[in-house]
């Protein structure tokens, strides 16, 4: 699609009057001080106009500027003429929805997670003998409270329920444990940074502590930590340090290192994992647990970063490992814990067209899920090594794959964009069983989900790559409509294809949803991921651009009515697709986005992302980071379309100044400053904690898009 064909339409849209432009009220948000800093990096001069914004905790004058921005944006959002209608539409798809999922199950005790539109945060219940008892309601019943459970785990003996609670979206959680025999709830060591795992008997926990003196927000915040053993009920002063950053023979230095440990029922072995970016299992060690109590474990290396380990399961003397470093779609290998490693281990499940996803352990074997673009297969690896497929698994997005080590079979939840989640218990290989899993899913009958349809296709990118696209739309709608292109494209995560009521509100309001599996994600395996990393990162946002062109060309979207939405690492996609092709989009939304990649490495979460995005210390990777930097891509006098940017002041993953710099650059350079909207949550982090704030955010998005795209 040529620039000139749609550029004039966007220009006309930009010239329409916006709320806040009436006489007596300033139409433009306040500018930020421009204090340029010049760096020479590998022979390239880079000018940073807003370096003064950087710092943690947040720089006071940045906080002042963000407050002014938010006040200006809040006034405009609240004044949007379609806001009342947007609120009614969002509320229609929030009420009377309930989903319960079995999170963990041991020896007849189940931990149930319950989601509800009336109580949209997660609550945890203990189910036993057919009765349920509330264990944890992190919000305390108050919609304005900002506590949240960051993690939770049921012990292998079924006695303890451990969880981490944080406030204000900081994700700096304090660990607690509930005795399921007495329901007594008590804190654990407050120095703990994160959960690691259980001991084999379930009476001890491995907890990750950051080093003494670690400063929140500093670039070395996550460095130098260790994994400690804590016996539940014992004095934390008696905890034993068992696995430290950098520990183990043949350790290869990595950009961030968070050591974790884990045992398993019936096994004498302890797994030690050096995690990268708090997510990726980068280097794997194993030790005989006989020396655990004294902290004298003899570690042996079993896998490295080259193996691309995605998941580990310990069963007796065997470590089952899914790895995609050697075969892009993943292979399952069985490692002999006594002497083997991943490279020499037996391949139990070889690579196939479908991508290996996850696995769980049951009494009758190991169940492994693999899938491709919504088509799913589960195979069982029996105790005798026999491999059999479970017949008749449904299409859709599979989640919450769970099993109990003392019972046969497994549970799962399946959903689609236009169908409610359904939870199933599988006990027979001859069919998915579809037995009642003891969970509930309900929604108002007047939703009439049959009114919504899903179109799945593949769209050719400019280099011939075929990009997966899922279009959610009204079945009876005719002619081109407004379309919101939603994409992420990082870390090898597949695009979310599950059921989301808030998206139905958008579609019913006249804005279809195109979910795009751009490169950098994992929709088509690890090769797809690698093709959107570092120097290949432009594929990520150009895939979005090319799909946007297709949506217009094929008549799915009307001219001027195509919008873009992404967040976090997906902010790279939003920022660069928006700045590279401003003529293409009628609007954009960037939530808590990484917009200043040249400086991201110097944040607390930056070192862990070097493996994904690159480092300015490397000449080639620096050029890749420069190409993906949205702040540096902003140009003077360009007619950028309306964009809504959001951030939370407590964000520890993408600090607020990353978003603030992009907003400041647009305000300084865009032809129309009134097209830049910056919304700031002062009691939230990388995600919104409060139910009230989440509702307001959904209404903001819908009202903003309807105004920007001129949707009645």
Spell out the SS3 assignment of 8-57.
Answer: HHHHHHHCCCCCCCCCCCCCCCCCCCCCCEEEEECCEEEEECCHHHCCCC
Q: How many angstroms separate the CA atoms of 320 and 667, rounded? A: 53
Closest CA to 417 of 469, 476, 371: 469
* SS3 category, 307: helix
Q: Which residues contact 212 (CB under 8 A, 6 or more apart)?
A: none
Instruction: Report the share of the chain in percent with pLDDT over 90.
Output: 70
pLDDT reading at 24 higher than 80: no
The pLDDT assigned to 117 comes to 63
* SS3 category, 453: strand
Q: How many angstroms separate the CA atoms of 362 and 405, rounded? A: 4
* pTM given for the model: 0.92
pLDDT reading at 623 higher than 70: yes
Q: Which residues of 169-190 are buried (b: 16+ CB within 10 A; e: fewer)?
A: bbbbbbbbbbebeeeeeeebbe
| pLDDT tens track for 506-564 | 999 999 999 999 999 999 999 999 999 999 999 999 999 999 999 999 999 999 999 99
Tell me how far CA of residue 582 lies from CA of 546, 590, 622, 701, in angstroms. Answer: 13, 14, 25, 19
Q: How many angstroms separate the CA atoms of 67 and 54, rounded? A: 16
The torsion angles phi and psi of 435, rounded to 5 degrees, stand at -70, 155
| β-pair type (676-681, 643-648) | parallel
Six token digits for residue 203:
């009476």
Task: For residue 290, count other CB atoms closer than 10 A to its CB.
Answer: 12
Q: List the single range of 166-170, 362-366, 433-437, 574-578 with lowest mean pLDDT.
A: 433-437
* Cα 205-206-207 angle, rounded to 5 deg: 110
The pLDDT assigned to 189 comes to 81
452 DSSP β-pair partners: 474
pLDDT reading at 470 higher than 80: yes
pLDDT reading at 140 higher than 50: no
pLDDT reading at 18 higher than 60: no
Confidence of residue 460 (pLDDT cuts 50, 70, 90): very high
**What order do you get walking across the sheet with 147-154 strand by strand?**
147-154, 160-167, 174-179, 185-187
* Cα 217-221-223 angle, rounded to 5 deg: 160
Closest CA to 381 of 339, 302, 321: 321
Domain ranges of the chain: 37-92+445-708
The pLDDT assigned to 170 comes to 74
The torsion angles phi and psi of 296, rounded to 5 degrees, stand at -115, 70
The residue whose two tokens read 């459970």 is 149
Mean pLDDT to the nearest integer, 119-146: 74
Tell me how far CA of residue 379 lies from CA of 319, 327, 363, 431, in angstroms. Answer: 18, 19, 15, 12
Let me know: does 661 contact 53? Beta carbons within 8 Å.
yes
Mean pLDDT to the nearest integer, 390-419: 90
- Cis, bond preceding 668 (omega within 30 deg of 0): no
Name the DSSP letter for residue 690: -
Let me know: does 261 contact 272? Beta carbons within 8 Å.
yes
pLDDT reading at 14 higher than 50: no
The pLDDT assigned to 138 comes to 67
pLDDT reading at 17 higher than 50: no
Q: How many angstroms separate the CA atoms of 287 and 269, rounded? A: 6
Give kind and range of the element (H or E) at residue 69.
Answer: helix 60-78
Which residue has better confidence, 183 or 440? 183
Instruction: Report the share of the chain in percent with pLDDT over 70.
Output: 91
Taking each helix axis from N to C end, the angle separating 60-78 and 656-669, rounded to the nearest 10 degrees, works out to 70
Extract the runs of DSSP E, i.e. beta strands, from 245-372. 258-262, 269-276, 280-288, 300-303, 309-315, 318-323, 331-336, 346-349, 355-362, 365-372
The pLDDT assigned to 535 comes to 98
| pLDDT tens track for 79-98 | 999 999 999 999 888 766 67
Tell me how far CA of residue 144 lies from CA of 91, 147, 618, in angstroms. Answer: 17, 9, 46
Give Cα 580 distance to the centre of its chain. Answer: 25
Q: How high does pLDDT run on average in the chain?
A: 89
Q: List the single range of 218-222, 236-240, 699-703 with lowest mean pLDDT.
A: 218-222
Give kind and range of the element (H or E) at residue 606.
Answer: none
Q: List the single range of 23-37, 257-271, 571-585 with lowest mean pLDDT.
A: 23-37
Closest CA to 461 of 532, 525, 511, 513: 532
Confidence of residue 686 (pLDDT cuts 50, 70, 90): confident
Q: How many angstroms separate the CA atoms of 642 and 676, rounded? A: 6
Q: Looking at the domain that runs over 37-92+445-708, which CATH code has it been given? A: 3.40.50.1820
The residue whose two tokens read 């949007």 is 80
Q: How many angstroms separate the CA atoms of 669 and 613, rounded? A: 27
């Amino acid at each position: 699609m040529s620039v000139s064909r749609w550029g004039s339409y966007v220009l006309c849209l930009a010239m329409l009057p916006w709320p806040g432009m009436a006489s007596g009220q300033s139409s433009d948000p306040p500018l930020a001080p421009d204090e340029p800093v010049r760096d020479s990096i590998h022979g390239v001069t880079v000018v940073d106009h807003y370096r003064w914004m950087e710092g943690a905790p947040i720089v006071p004058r940045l906080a002042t500027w963000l407050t002014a921005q938010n006040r200006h944006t809040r006034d405009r959002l609240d004044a949007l003429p379609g806001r009342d209608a947007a609120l009614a539409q969002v509320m229609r798809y929030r009420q009377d929805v309930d989903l319960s999922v079995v999170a963990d199950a041991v020896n007849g005790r189940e931990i149930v997670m319950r989601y509800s539109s009336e109580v949209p945060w997660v609550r945890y219940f203990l189910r036993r003998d057919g009765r349920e008892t509330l264990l944890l309601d992190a919000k305390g019943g108050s919609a304005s409270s900002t506590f949240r459970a960051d993690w939770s785990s049921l012990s292998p003996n079924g006695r303890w329920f451990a969880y981490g609670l944080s406030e204000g979206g900081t994700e700096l959680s304090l660990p607690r444990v509930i005795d399921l025999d007495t329901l007594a709830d008590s804190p654990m060591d407050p120095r703990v940074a994160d959960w690691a795992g259980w001991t084999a008997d379930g009476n001890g926990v491995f907890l990750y502590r950051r080093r003494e003196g670690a400063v929140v927000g500093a670039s070395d915040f996550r460095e130098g930590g260790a994994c400690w053993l804590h016996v539940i009920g014992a004095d934390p002063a008696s905890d034993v340090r068992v696995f430290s950053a950098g520990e183990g023979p043949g350790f290869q230095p990595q950009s961030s290192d968070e050591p974790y440990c884990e045992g398993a029922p019936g096994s004498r072995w302890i797994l030690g994992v050096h995690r990268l970016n708090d997510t990726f299992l980068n280097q794997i060690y194993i030790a005989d647990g006989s020396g655990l109590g004294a902290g004298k474990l003899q570690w042996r290396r079993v896998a490295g970063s080259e193996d691309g380990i995605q998941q580990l399961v310990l069963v007796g003397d065997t470590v089952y490992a899914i790895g995609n470093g050697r075969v892009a779609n993943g292979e399952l290998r069985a490692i002999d814990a006594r002497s083997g490693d991943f490279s020499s281990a037996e391949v139990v499940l070889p690579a196939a067209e479908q991508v290996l996803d996850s696995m769980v352990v049951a009494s009758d074997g190991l169940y492994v899920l693999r899938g491709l673009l919504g088509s799913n297969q589960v195979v069982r690896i029996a105790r005798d090594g026999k491999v059999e497929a479970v017949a008749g698994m449904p299409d859709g997005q599979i989640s919450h794959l769970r099993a109990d080590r003392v019972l046969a079979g497994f549970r799962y939840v399946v959903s689609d964009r236009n169908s409610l989640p359904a939870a199933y218990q599988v006990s027979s290989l001859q069919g998915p069983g579809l037995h009642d899993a003891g969970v509930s899913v309900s929604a108002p009958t007047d939703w009439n989900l049959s009114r919504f349809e899903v179109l799945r296709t593949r769209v050719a990118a400019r280099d011939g790559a075929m990009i997966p696209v899922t279009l959610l739309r009204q079945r009876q709608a005719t002619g081109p409509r407004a379309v919101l292109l939603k994409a992420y494209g990082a870390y090898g995560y597949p695009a979310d294809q599950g059921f989301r009521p808030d998206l139905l509100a958008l579609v019913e309001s006249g804005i279809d949803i195109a979910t795009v599996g751009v490169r950098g994600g994992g929709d088509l395996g690890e090769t797809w991921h690698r093709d959107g990393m570092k120097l290949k990162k432009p594929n990520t946002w150009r895939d979005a651009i090319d799909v946007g062109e297709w949506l217009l060309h094929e008549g799915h979207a009307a001219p001027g009515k195509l919008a873009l939405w992404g967040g976090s690492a997906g902010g790279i996609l939003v920022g660069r697709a928006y700045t590279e092709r401003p003529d293409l989009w009628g609007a954009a939304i960037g939530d808590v986005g990484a917009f200043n990649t040249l400086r991201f490495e110097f944040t607390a979460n930056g070192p862990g992302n070097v493996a994904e995005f690159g480092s300015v210390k490397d000449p080639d990777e620096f050029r890749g980071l420069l190409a993906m930097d949205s702040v540096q891509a902003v140009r003077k006098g360009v007619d950028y379309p309306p964009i809504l940017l959001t951030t939370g002041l407590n964000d520890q993953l993408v600090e607020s100044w990353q978003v603030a710099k992009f907003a400041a650059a647009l305000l300084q350079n865009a032809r129309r400053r009134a097209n830049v909207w910056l919304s700031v949550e002062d009691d939230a982090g990388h995600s919104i904690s409060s139910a009230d704030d989440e509702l307001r955010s959904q209404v903001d998005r819908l009202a903003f898009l309807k105004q920007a795209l001129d949707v009645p």
